[in-house]
Amino acid sequence: MVASPPRRLLALPESDSGRDRVSRWLARMPAGVRLLWVGARAPAGVPATRPAQAGHRLGSECEVVVFEAGDPVAGDALAIATGLLRGGGILLLLVQATPGSGGWAKRWRAALRAPVVEWIAGDPAHWPLPATEARGAFAWTPDQRAARGLLEALAPGECGVLTAPRGRGKSTLLGDWMAAAWADRGMDMRLTGPTATAVSAVGAAARARLGSLPAALEYRAPGELEVTAARAGTLIVDEAAALPVDRLLGLARRAGRLVLATTTGGFEGSGQGFRLRVLPALEQAGVRVRQVRLETPVRWGVADPLEDWLDGLFLLRARSATPVPRAVRWRWGAAADLADQPQRLEAVTGLLADAHYRTRPSDLQRWLEDPAMRLLTLEGVGHGGLFGAVLVAAEPGLNRPLAEAVWAGERRPQGHFLPCVLAGVGALDLAGHPIWRIQRIAVHPRWQGLGLGLRLLRTVTDRARAEGVDLLGASFGLDAGLLRLWRRAGFDLVRVGLRPDPSSGRPGGVVLRSVATATSAMRELAAAQARDWPEWHARLWPGHETTLANALEDVMPKVVAADPEPEQDWQEIRAFAERARPLEWVLPALLRRLRADPPTDADGRLLAAALLPDGPVAWDALAARLRVSGRRGVVRRLRRAVRAWRRWD
């Protein structure tokens, strides 16, 4: 296998003349060179994507990427675009001046002064072209062959574990092996993972081998597999670290052989928490674990200078040292201060990665730029090793008109997540309070299970009380263990998401607690959530999440709130009919009124027929019956039906 030539990083100040010169440079590209422009001002005829859609390009390759590096730079898109470049390729940055004085702005300017960055000028006829001539024929790397050998030799009751940094061909290997085992040996194979998108590269590799993807190899949601009667012969779980340990153990019991694969390191990865938590749990459950790690890059060369530059900029390889049990101290301050503490910044970033968080480049940018972001650490005295960390964002409250617009579904201002949640559940007064949102909490994997998470939460609560903050909250992918932790720390579950979260594949939840004066109000919100939960559970909750539903009910108040006055229900229903209040939010009120006063008109009967039956709402069947397109079409038709049913003046 011929070694890949290094990738190059060019930079040019952004301007109209600069873009014109880049266009002339692109016109010089040899035939067959694949191009991508990431930004809003691509020349005509050049394949392009906006930064927010860069993730749709994952799995593709190119030799040249032009990236509009605005102010601020779109960090997530930059990391994705860099990963698309093959060895010998060129990343050209169109750099907009960065006048800011924040921590991220300083870090970005320093990165642009690195030796690997080639600032170009003059005639584009003299600019370098990608090195494409040195590539050999495709061949599996030695560690890919070793991994394939492990997969081929898996015996019943065993678990094969594949870990790799990004760009090592993990998904290609898995998809090709899965397709070959199914087609050539008739093996019963199932594919799952946190979401269909997360495992799409595996399906693409299987499709490339077979020409099309048979139904037997299509993605299955984890919850679907948990309730399926038949066991899988071999179950492949890609990006397994994104699934909770209890779910992985349940899947292990549903398969003769188990294959777990996950990306470690980098913003796409899981960190070391997978190795330190998941694998021991499997072994304790009696599963024989066999591991192999892919280290050789397949898209670019070893020690690629562009990858090293990106890793250094966003700390994608950051690791936290295991702290030793000595004297400890609490340390509290602004997260932006980490910009001037490079060792501590790397330690905090590494801890979050090692504790299983998928820390994205945009996260690092936000920590270093947001003056409202606070950081609490529990660290060793002297050696500075981190036992735990909490990142807290101060979210300002909403003024009354804005809160009312959020309640009606018409506004969703950024930077006010928890106040918007409170407004959405009708707590407009509470939505006006500033709230501390706990965005990240991490305990070093070697020190988990010893109560440190609870100590971190209690310390943040004490700090909030000392600073006069009334409310604390957090949102996360729902998990039974996490629910118990937050409940023990005094937080109430006030909102349950009804659709899978894009990153975890599970519904999300919001917990809140009062620090000072709003304790009774918070309890009332939790009791109202518990009152309405049966309606959401029966009609909108993912049907396969039965275990999680039981865990939710365990932490909900046993004494639920009384039904609201009819006028309050009608107020919600009218906001659904005439404004934009979501159906999910108004569903319990709508059901109460339909039951209390059964409609006799055509539109009222349509609503009753669509929503009153116990059981999941059949969106596709409803769309067909109502002659509309999809779920959104159904909701629009129901809004019209409510307007006709009530005919408000």
Domain ranges, ordered by start, for the chain: 8-126, 142-293, 328-555, 566-646
Q: What is the dihedral of CA 336, 341, 343, 348, to 10 degrees?
A: -20
Angle at 206 between CA 204 and CA 209, to 5 degrees: 110
Q: What is the pLDDT of residue 190?
A: 94
Q: What is the pLDDT of residue 432?
A: 95
Answer for the pair 605, 645: CB distance below 8 angstroms, yes or no. no
Write a three-state SS string for 565-587: CHHHHHHHHHHHHHCCCCHHHHH
Whether the predicted pLDDT of 246 surpasses 80: no
Task: Report the percent of the chain where pLDDT is more than 90.
Answer: 63
228: phi then psi, degrees, rounded to nearest 5 = -80, 135
Residue of 324 and 269 predicted with greater confidence:
324
Whether the predicted pLDDT of 529 surpasses 90: yes
The string of pLDDT tens digits covering residues 332-375 is: 999 999 999 999 999 999 888 776 656 788 889 989 999 889 99
For domain 142-293, the CATH class is alpha beta
Q: State which fold the 8-126 domain adopts.
A: Rossmann fold (3.40.50)
Answer for the pair 299, 167: CB distance below 8 angstroms, yes or no. yes
Whether the predicted pLDDT of 521 surpasses 90: no
Average pLDDT over residues 68-89: 92
Return the number of other C-beta atoms located less than 10 Å from residue 38's C-beta.
Answer: 25
Whether the predicted pLDDT of 540 surpasses 60: yes
Q: Which residues of 183-220 are buried (b: 16+ CB within 10 A; e: fewer)?
A: eeeeebbbbbbbbbbbbbbbbbbbeebbeebeeebebb
Answer for the pair 492, 523: CB distance below 8 angstroms, yes or no. yes
48: phi then psi, degrees, rounded to nearest 5 = -145, 160
The string of pLDDT tens digits covering residues 380-408 is: 887 778 999 999 999 999 999 999 999 99
Q: How far does Cα 545 stand from its chain's mean position?
A: 19
Answer for the pair 133, 158: CB distance below 8 angstroms, yes or no. no
Q: What is the pLDDT of residue 356?
A: 60
DSSP H or E run through 76: helix 75-84
Write a three-state SS string for 90-155: EEEEEECCCCCCCHHHHHHHHHHCCCCEEECCCCHHHCCCCCCCCCCCCCCCHHHHHHHHHHHCCC
Q: How far apart are CA 275 and CA 556, in angstroms?
A: 33
Q: How far apart are CA 438 and CA 456, in angstroms?
A: 11
Q: What is the pLDDT of residue 270?
A: 55
Task: Pick the closest to residue 238 from 193, 272, 268 (CA basis).
Answer: 193
Q: Of the given ranges (1-5, 35-39, 400-404), which has the lowest mean pLDDT?
A: 1-5
Q: What is the pLDDT of residue 456?
A: 96
468 CB-contact burial (10 Å; exposed 0-12 / middle 13-18 / buried 19+)? exposed
Q: How far apart are CA 278 and CA 566, in angstroms?
A: 50
Average pLDDT over residues 14-30: 95
Domains 8-126 and 142-293 are alike in CATH topology: yes
Which of these CATH numbers, 1.10.1040.10, 3.30.1330.40, 3.40.190.10, 3.40.630.30, describes 328-555? 3.40.630.30
Using alpha carbons, list the distances in angstroms from residue 631 to 299, 371, 502, 621, 622: 40, 40, 18, 10, 8
Strand 117-119, strand 328-334: pairing: unpaired
Whether the predicted pLDDT of 95 surpasses 80: yes
Entry field: residues in the chain: 649
Q: What is the pLDDT of residue 272?
A: 59
Q: How much is the mean pLDDT over the chain?
A: 89
Q: Which residues of 42-61 are buried (b: 16+ CB within 10 A; e: fewer)?
A: bbeeeebbebeebeebbeee
Q: What is the pLDDT of residue 263?
A: 81
Give residue 449's region: left, alpha or beta (phi > 0; psi -120 to 50): left
User: Half-sphere exposure of 193 toward its Cβ, with a 13 Å CA cutoff?
Assistant: 26
Q: How far apart are CA 367 and CA 339, in angstroms?
A: 9
Whether the predicted pLDDT of 305 surpasses 60: yes
User: What Rg do the C-alpha atoms of the chain give, in angstroms?
Assistant: 27
Angle at 20 between CA 14 and CA 21, to 5 degrees: 85
Q: How far apart are CA 392 and CA 479, in angstroms?
A: 21
Q: Per DSSP, what are the bridge partners of residue 12?
A: 94
Angle at 52 between CA 336 and CA 318, to 5 degrees: 40
Answer for the pair 252, 219: CB distance below 8 angstroms, yes or no. no
123 CB-contact burial (10 Å; exposed 0-12 / middle 13-18 / buried 19+)? exposed
Q: How far apart are CA 622 and CA 609, in angstroms?
A: 10
Q: What six digits make up the tokens of 89?
A: 């390729």
Q: What is the pLDDT of residue 280?
A: 82
3-state secondary structure of 443: strand
Q: What is the pLDDT of residue 384?
A: 73
* DSSP letter (8 states) at residue 197: G
The string of pLDDT tens digits covering residues 254-304 is: 899 999 998 876 555 555 567 766 788 888 888 899 999 999 998 898 899
Residue of 60 and 72 predicted with greater confidence:
72
The string of pLDDT tens digits covering residues 577-603 is: 999 999 999 999 999 999 998 999 999
Q: Of the given ranges (118-127, 220-229, 326-335), which has the lowest mean pLDDT?
A: 220-229
The string of pLDDT tens digits covering residues 155-209 is: 999 999 998 888 888 999 999 999 999 999 899 999 999 888 788 889 999 999 9
The most confident of 91-95, 166-170, 223-227, by mean pLDDT: 91-95
Whether the predicted pLDDT of 330 surpasses 60: yes
Q: What six digits make up the tokens of 221?
A: 């949601």
Q: What six digits make up the tokens of 565?
A: 């006055």
Answer for the pair 266, 361: CB distance below 8 angstroms, yes or no. no
User: Half-sphere exposure of 6 toward its Cβ, with a 13 Å CA cutoff?
Assistant: 11
Angle at 368 between CA 367 and CA 372, to 5 degrees: 60
Q: What is the dihedral of CA 563, 564, 567, 572, to 10 degrees?
A: -100
Q: Per DSSP, what are the bridge partners of residue 161?
A: 260, 291
Q: What six digits make up the tokens of 531?
A: 């009152």
